[in-house]
């Protein structure tokens, strides 16, 4: 099993418990994003701890692309971890997401009017983003304070990442608001996200049934004859679009298209045109614009 260890208290606790539970069967990796002056020293600290507890360790140095820093860093981090897993023959990657993370994610996605899939938060088992590898979150039902206590009891000093206190990040502001709201039951919120994950899986199952029964290719396009409720129809439409274009459409784009189609109006989705038909939606590629001669 591989463990992603940043050096913070959450991932250090996971590392210590994994090493004790599965001696000799754990590998650790620290991703150095190169975004802070102390990052290399922090990775070296994790490497030193791993040497002391007998866990092989690798430091993965990455370059973060321009754009949304957190999103680009996440993508580069998982790409590096996936490559490391494949090179080491690692069966599963464990990360230290916990119930406080889950509650924070739920609030952030409520603020963005996310659907069921988004509100389901992170799962205890999922694919590594961008790879056909297993990602597990064994401490998803632990609290942040409980993990910090494991590290303190072991006498290990955790990394203090100043970005975790930077109010420029949505998660930091949400974390502070939740900490001040003593009426919130964080474990209950985390369990609620788990119930939403069950609902998301049920919707996927129903959408698969609808797709197989109600979608077929005709001529140059695809015809979908919907009978399912809106939430399921949107998932079927997303799958049709992905089948044709190879790209997953945004949920907001699909929702607007569905409303237009129900109003008997054509709807663009990327380079597709979706037209209403009696009892059906027709998906075809939009004709390419001719380039005028020079």
What per-residue confidence (pLDDT) applies to 18? 97
What per-residue confidence (pLDDT) applies to 21? 95
Express as a percent the part of the chain with pLDDT over 70.
98
Chain position carrying tokens 């961008």:
130
Strands (E) in the chain, as ranges, are 2-4, 27-32, 57-61, 92-94, 125-127, 134-136, 215-218, 221-224, 267-269, 272-277, 280-285
Tokens of 67: 């754009």
pLDDT in tens, 257-289: 999 999 999 999 988 999 999 999 999 998 776
- Which residues define the annotated binding site for ATP? 6-11
Domains of the chain, residue spans: 2-184, 197-285
Question: How far out from the chain centre does Cα 265 lie?
Answer: 34
Q: Which residue has the higher pLDDT, 163 or 261?
A: 261
pLDDT exceeds cutoff 60 at 4: yes
What per-residue confidence (pLDDT) applies to 73? 87
- Which residues define the annotated binding site? 6-11
CATH architecture of 2-184: 3-Layer(aba) Sandwich (3.40)
What per-residue confidence (pLDDT) applies to 38? 85
pLDDT in tens, 44-92: 999 999 999 999 999 999 888 887 777 888 899 999 999 999 999 999 9
Q: Please, which residues have CB within 8 angstroms of residue 86's CB and are 6 or more apart in sequence?
A: 133
pLDDT band at 294 (very low <50, low <70, confident <90, very high): low
């Amino acid at each position: 099993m591989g463990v992603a260890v940043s050096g913070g208290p959450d991932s250090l606790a996971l590392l210590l418990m994994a090493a004790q539970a599965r001696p000799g069967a754990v590998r650790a990796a620290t991703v150095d994003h190169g975004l802070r002056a102390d990052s290399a020293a922090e990775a070296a600290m994790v490497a030193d701890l791993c040497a002391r507890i007998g866990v092989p360790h690798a430091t993965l140095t990455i370059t973060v692309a321009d754009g949304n820093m957190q999103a680009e860093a996440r993508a580069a981090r998982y790409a590096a971890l996936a490559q490391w897993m494949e090179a080491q023959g690692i069966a599963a990657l464990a990360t230290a997401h916990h119930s406080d993370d889950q509650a924070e994610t739920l609030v952030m996605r409520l603020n963005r009017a996310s659907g069921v899939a988004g509100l389901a938060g992170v799962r205890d088992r999922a694919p590594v983003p961008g790879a056909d590898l297993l990602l597990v979150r064994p401490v998803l039902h632990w609290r942040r304070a409980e993990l910090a206590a494991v590290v303190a009891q072991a006498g290990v000093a955790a990394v203090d990442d100043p970005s975790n206190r930077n109010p420029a990040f949505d998660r930091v502001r949400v974390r502070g608001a939740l900490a001040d709201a003593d009426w919130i039951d964080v474990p209950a919120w985390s369990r609620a996200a788990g119930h939403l994950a069950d609902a998301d899986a049920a919707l996927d199952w129903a959408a698969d049934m609808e797709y197989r029964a109600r979608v077929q290719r005709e001529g140059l396009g695809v015809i979908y004859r919907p009978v399912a409720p809106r939430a399921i129809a949107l998932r079927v439409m997303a799958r049709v679009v992905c089948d044709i274009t190879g790209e997953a459409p945004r949920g907001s784009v699909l929702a607007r298209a569905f409303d237009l189609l129900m109003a008997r109006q054509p709807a663009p989705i990327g380079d597709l045109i979706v037209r209403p038909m009696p009892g059906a939606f027709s998906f075809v590629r939009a004709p390419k614009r001719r380039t005028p001669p020079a």
